[in-house]
Structure formats: C-alpha cells, structure tokens
Amino acid sequence: MNILEIFRKVGPVIWPLLFFSILSLSVILERLWFWLRILNQEKEIVNRVLDAAGEKNWGLATEIARRATDQPIGRFLYAPLSQPKSDMELFRLALESTAETELAQMRRGEKVLELVIAVAPLLGLFGTVWGLIGSLESIRIGDLGTEATAGVTTGIGESLYSTAVGLGVAIVSLVFYRLFQALVVNQVKVFRQAGNDLEILYLQSAPDLSNSKSDIVIPQPIVRDTPRDNFIPPPPPRHRSQNKFSQSPENPEANTSDPEN
C-alpha cells in the first residue's frame, strides 16, 4: 500500500492532519538541535566560570561567561557578574530574573505540541465518523445479509485509517513533548546548582566593582579671606524716589518739596 492509497482512504481529513504533522515535525527538529547544542557545552562553561571564581579571578570569570552568551547558561552566569556594583541583593536579583527568562525560552514550542496532541486525534475521529456516515447511508434494509453489504464493510474499515493517522501524529508529538519537559526540569536543577555555587563564591570573596556615584567626592568651593585693609563696604541703599503721579489730588503741595531746601 503506497502513500497515495493511504491518502485516498483517509479522505479529506488527511490535509489538516498533514499540516499538523509537518508543524509538529518542524518544532521537534528545532528543539532537538537546540538541546543538543546546550547539553554539549553547558557543563564545560559552568566548570570554567566556577573555577575562575574559586581562584578569586572575577575578571576572568566574567570574560568566560561573556564569551558564552550564545548559550542560556552563559547568559545566566554573565548577568550577575556584569553588574557594575558589588551588591549581594543585586547579584541575586540578576540571577533570578535571568533564570526565568532563559527557562521561558527553553519552553518555546510546547504550546504547538500541545495543540497537535489535542487536535490530531479529534481530526482522525472526525474522519472516521464522516466515513461511517457515508457507508451507513448506502445500506438498504433489503440488502442486509446479501453480498451488497460487502462494500459497506470495506468503507467502514477504510474510515478507520483517519483515526489511526491522527493517533499516530498525536503519539509521536506526545513522546517528544514529554522529553522536552524532562530536559527543562533538568535545566532548572542545573541553573539552581550553578547559581548557588556562584553565589557562595561571591559571598566568600566578593569582587570590588563598586564605582557608584555615591563614592564620588564633590569638591567644595574655596573661600578666601579678604584683607581688612582692602575691604570695600557695600554702597548705602538708595532711597526710592517719589513718583509725581502718586501725589494726592486734594493736597498737591503736601507732597512737593522746596527745591531751595
């Protein structure tokens, strides 16, 4: 039995099943390549960073983590080491926030596999029910027990192919879905262990990276003493001149002064 014969027996449901199978296969291949790259280099990166930190060479540890930022574990270790201030609380917050981001990226594609696992069996069942309806509608009461019903049983058998294909797509997707979930759980353990080891080393010998603005001394202006001999007193305050427009209209002479005096 070739592929075209199976397509014919499954019926129109084969096209959405084919779409979901290609979608699931693409996610599986991408995730396999992703995990193979991580698992091959992760342990070496962690050991090199921790060894450099254990020797109190924090500059080398930061540089090793920076060069490994193409890996999740490298970005996880580089985030706290790249902080400009030597603060334990800031160090811990950088570890936690980076771990959440990286673990979320590791779960990419799980929603697609969940969709395929849920929809593929239903599509296969729908194709089977559709084929059974077509087969049973062709049965006549007078044809029961005769050779005319042989074609009906053949149609019922062919309609079950859609259920088999849907279950096959869902089973394969479910196997890799569980595998990827197990790898994510293992990464949680690796991140927690590496973060705890790095935090312990940081507590034992924290690097001096504090260049915060609070340590900068602002120079005060220099006040020089003025010699008394050269002291110039300030000028006396000027008297406010009277405005001619402010004179009282009832007694204009009361606000005028004698120019001779």
Return the H-helix or E-strand segment holding 214.
Answer: none
Report the pLDDT averaged over residues 147-152.
Answer: 53
Helix axes 110-137, 150-204, angle to 10 degrees: 170
Would you kindly state where each structural domain of the chain is located, as residue ranges?
3-139+151-208
Per-residue model confidence (pLDDT) at position 211 = 44
Per-residue model confidence (pLDDT) at position 235 = 54
pLDDT tens digits along 84-106? 777 788 888 999 999 999 999 99
pLDDT tens digits along 45-75? 999 999 999 988 999 999 999 999 999 999 9
Terminal C-alpha separation, the chain: 134
Query: What does the alpha-carbon distance between residue 198 and residue 58 come to, in Å, rounded to a whole number?
Result: 11
Q: Which residue has the tokens 């075209």?
A: 4
Residue 236 region by backbone torsions, left for phi larger than 0, else alpha for psi between -120 and 50, else beta: beta
Higher pLDDT, 156 or 116: 116
Per-residue model confidence (pLDDT) at position 245 = 37
pLDDT tens digits along 117-137? 999 999 989 888 887 777 666
Q: Which residue has the tokens 């779960």?
A: 107
**DSSP label of 231:** -
Closest CA to 150 of 158, 130, 160, 128: 158
pLDDT tens digits along 171-227? 999 999 999 999 999 999 999 999 999 999 988 876 554 443 333 333 444 444 444
Query: What does the alpha-carbon distance between residue 93 and residue 167 come to, in Å, rounded to a whole number?
Result: 45
| Residue 155 pLDDT > 50 | yes
Q: Identify whether the C-beta of residue 13 lies closer than 8 Å to the C-beta of residue 128.
A: no
